[in-house]
Structure 1
Amino acid sequence: MTPDLTTLRAVAEHAARDGGAAALKTYGGSHDEATKANIFDIVTEGDKASEAAILPILRANTRFPIFSEEGGGDEFDAPFIWHVDPIDGTVNYASNLPHFSVSIALADRDLAPVVGIVFNPVTGEMFSAARGQGATLNGKPIHASDVRDMHQALIATGFPSGRRTVRRENNLDAFLAVLPRVRDMRRLGSAALDISFVACGRLEAFWEGGMNSWDVLAALLILSESGGRYSDYDGGTARAITGKQVVATNGWLHEQLLTTINAARR
């Protein structure tokens, strides 16, 4: 049975705002950093403060377990699970760059998202969606762009934190293949925001590999509800919803971008 998505969307928006406010308390100054998997994968006091603000709100207002990047999660035997990234774009946050976000998604056991919130606390931009209800930016409907020519497209990408890996997986070959075929490229540093920018037409596409469900599920729902399209590199969704391979586009450019990426990965 599908829960009340309108109510859950409001709960997630509330949690995202409070998480963002907690992160902003230490934004702009020096930060306490610790490494996780490697030197490219860090956590700050802002991540922990944001998570500490978000989780109690979700627990007080819903009965679904929580899967959070910073480890504050629960057991996962439930029909729906919250996927939380307290700060997506921690390196930007630690460097006091204003492109980072709080990402909160509610997804079913198959990782199909039904609620998605991406909030930038610096700009106050709240991207929000619920399945079948469309996507909004600060309450106003958004739609992906209708650009159909790759040469007119502004595209973003990223590089995995485990980038010291085989060349096929570190994204450099694909980057070099796509760059001459588009208007320009951006590497902004928050996948959740970047995909949301595709959803509202600021970008035409985004791709990256080596991420996790908490990085992308909220934004992928926002994108699909705005008329965009997402897949993994093979054109399916199995690895996209886990974050391992994500291609997110306005829909019109999807096959062209997939073809270019896959040709470079051979």
Structure 2
Amino acid sequence: MARSAILNVMVNAAIKAGRSLTKDFSEVENLQVSRKGPADFVSKADLRAEQIVYDELLKARPTYAFLMEEGGEVAGTDGQHRWLIDPLDGTTNFLHSIPLFACAIALERANEIVASVIYNPVLDELYTAEKGGGAWLNDRKRLRVAGRKSLADAVVCTGIKTQGTANDALQLRQLAHINPAVAGIRRSGSISMDMAWLASGRYDAIWEAGLSPWDVAPGLLMVKEAGGFVSDYAGSPGSVWNGQVVAGNESLQAALLKQLKGIQ
């Protein structure tokens, strides 16, 4: 796979941040951690990684805007381009020495996601996608979503929010309703890795809500470029901005969406 210039910029930023995350991951017990909500941690590792990505992208494209998990919004002068950055998606996994986390970057152009990178430095898995160019693992393997047609044969993934959130009861009803209809349900703790694994055929479908734009954007393009379909719970393509994701191949995405629409 030949990367474009802009994708090279994104990959280099993610890999550089990944080196910092790997170093911190090996010393995770020594990290100084503060809590910013129930089971929602922010560590020096997040902040270091985000600063690295920000510096690298700003140097390469100084006119682009930013939307970052830790740093918030930074205006640009371009008017058409914006970076969406989650420097460490799966922070709780990271802080418990579970190697399922990623540095995730997406590029928005004229309100459309056109390039994305999801990088897990511990597993050495680099997922890249560009509009019209497909989705790839480590520049060598082109990704395709799994071809299973029946939910009964499917392993689906979801995110289970922490106790005390408004959607607790709804999520429990969703789990109770969908569990008998599928082959299995998984919960990894990193939506970026979930979407990358969906694109690579490891998971068959995903549903989740309560997400932020930087959670959704990198994986959204990855799944679409791997031949998958993504919508919100209403079946509309608003996932990045309303935080709802239902994704899979054409058959399973439609079947899972039908299941979810019946749960109130």
TM-score (norm 1): 0.92
Does residue 86 (structure 1) correspond to residue 84 (structure 2)? The answer is no
* Counterpart in the other structure of 2:39: 40
Q: Deviations over 1:1-51 (max 9, x none)?
A: xxxx82111110111111111111111331322222x22221111101111
Q: State which drifts further: 154-163 or 199-208.
A: 154-163
Q: Distance in 2 between matches of 1:14 and 1:142?
A: 21
Q: State the 1:160 CA deviation.
A: 3.2
Q: Which runs of 5+ in 2 are unaligned?
A: none
* Equivalence map 1:2-151=2 (5 Å): 6-28=4-26, 29-30=28-29, 31-36=31-36, 38-62=37-61, 63-71=63-71, 73-75=73-75, 78-110=79-111, 112-139=112-139, 140-151=141-152
TM-score (norm 2): 0.92
Q: Deviations over 1:90-120 (max 9, x none)?
A: 000011100000000001342x210110000
> Runs (4+) of structure 1 moved beyond 4 Å?
166-169
Q: Distance in 1 between matches of 2:120 and 2:51?
A: 17
CA gap of 1:242–1:76, structure 2 versus 1, over 3 A, is farther
Q: Distance in 1 between matches of 2:6 and 2:146?
A: 28
Q: State the 1:210 CA deviation.
A: 0.6
Letter of the aligned partner of 1:247 in structure 2?
A: V
Q: Distance in 1 between matches of 2:250 and 2:163?
A: 29
Q: Distance in 2 between matches of 1:128 and 1:150?
A: 27
CA contact (8 A) 2:33 2:42 kept: yes
CA contact (8 A) 2:85 2:105 kept: yes
* Counterpart in the other structure of 2:237: 237
Alignment length (residue pairs): 257
Q: Distance in 2 between matches of 1:34 and 1:115?
A: 32
* Counterpart in the other structure of 2:221: 221
Q: Distance in 2 between matches of 1:89 and 1:148?
A: 30
Instruction: Tell me how large the CA RMSD over aligned residues is.
Output: 1.6
Helix, strand or coil for the counterpart of 2:216?
helix
Q: Distance in 1 between matches of 2:168 and 2:211?
A: 17
CA gap of 1:166–1:124, structure 2 versus 1, over 3 A, is closer
